Amino acid sequence: MITDYHVHLETGPYTIEWLEKYVEVAIQRGITDLGFSEHGYRFKQSKAILYNPWIAERQTEDINEYVNLILQAKEKGIDVKLGIELDFIPGKEKEIEDFLKPYPWDYVIGSVHWIDDWGFDLTEMREKWNQRSILKVYEEYFWRVERLLESMQFDILGHVDVIKVFGHRPSEEEQEQLLALYDRLVPLIQQSGITVEMSTAGLRKPVGELYPAPLLMERLTKAQVPMMINSDAHRPEHVGEDYDKGIDYLRSYGVNEVSIFEQRKRKMVPLG
């Protein structure tokens, strides 16, 4: 089984024709389990979870149109899963629960993209990195990931070390502190039962590296944390991109099975 559950439709309309362009690429690249996971912040119904000036310009969609599109595709016999990628904001657990509850999700991806009102992975906010201690940013980011795990509201942890997206890393002198963050995080991941995605998206980003980084991957696999492979596609051509490298990476750490989901229930299946 080869998964791609982290797939966004947002660069086109919510139509079967646009969805099928993703499906065509998935078939060409050997993806056997395809799921769509639109960004939750795009939907007007998510305003109570996340809202700021950057979001306000983009919070234009109706979640019912998205959900109905995926359900329509299923009814037509197109083999896809209904998912969503939702930003975790500490203190918004009840709002997240209320937002998710009405819909028949196959899975929910939880991610951290925001430190307060700073979208740290956004090109237009990149200069703010120059005003901050990199180690402090990493600490603030992983603190939020820990709260995400405690909430038990998600099935998949999205791009666990996306904080490195622009190539900012703690200095050599701070490596001990970075590894301490990993060592505190991994047991919490293990206890939560969440699946961690191995994402090829980092190869398309300035960092030029898969998520998770090798030293974190080493700890995750040693702890036997369930994993899957995703692309974080934002266009059809991104689906399954760089999967030769991604699958080799998983296998190099002894990962021979991956998680799949249906109606938010996980099953482990052989990779490939």
Tell me the residue range of the domain where 248 lies.
3-270
pLDDT at residue 163 in the model = 98
Nearest CA among 223, 271, 225, 226 for reference residue 251 = 271
Phi, psi of 225 (to 5 degrees): -70, 130
Tokens standing for 246? 């991604």
pLDDT at residue 49 in the model = 98
pLDDT in tens, the chain (272 residues): 999 999 999 999 999 999 999 999 999 999 999 999 999 999 999 999 999 999 999 999 999 999 999 999 999 999 999 999 999 999 999 999 999 999 999 999 999 999 999 999 999 999 999 999 999 999 999 999 999 999 999 999 999 999 999 999 999 999 999 999 999 999 999 999 999 999 999 999 999 999 999 999 999 999 999 999 999 999 999 999 999 999 999 999 999 999 999 999 999 999 98
5-31 burial, b at 16+ Cβ within 10 Å, e below that, comes to bbbbbeeeebeeeebebbbebbeebeb
- Angle (CA) 165-200-57 rounded to 5° is 55
pLDDT at residue 191 in the model = 98
pLDDT at residue 218 in the model = 98
Tokens standing for 185? 């995080």
Q: How far apart are the C-alpha atoms of 112 and 160, rounded to whole Å?
A: 8
Q: How far apart are the C-alpha atoms of 64 and 20, rounded to whole Å?
A: 19
Residue 99: how many other CB atoms lie within 10 Å: 21
Contact (Cβ atoms closer than 8 angstroms) between residue 254 and residue 221: yes
Phi, psi of 94 (to 5 degrees): -65, -40
pLDDT at residue 38 in the model = 98
Nearest CA among 32, 50, 56 for reference residue 91 = 50
Q: Is the dihedral of CA 221, 225, 230, 232 positive or negative?
A: negative
Phi, psi of 260 (to 5 degrees): -125, 160
Q: How many domains does the chain have?
A: 1
pLDDT at residue 59 in the model = 98
Tokens standing for 258? 């991956």
CATH number of the structural domain spanning residue 214 = 3.20.20.140
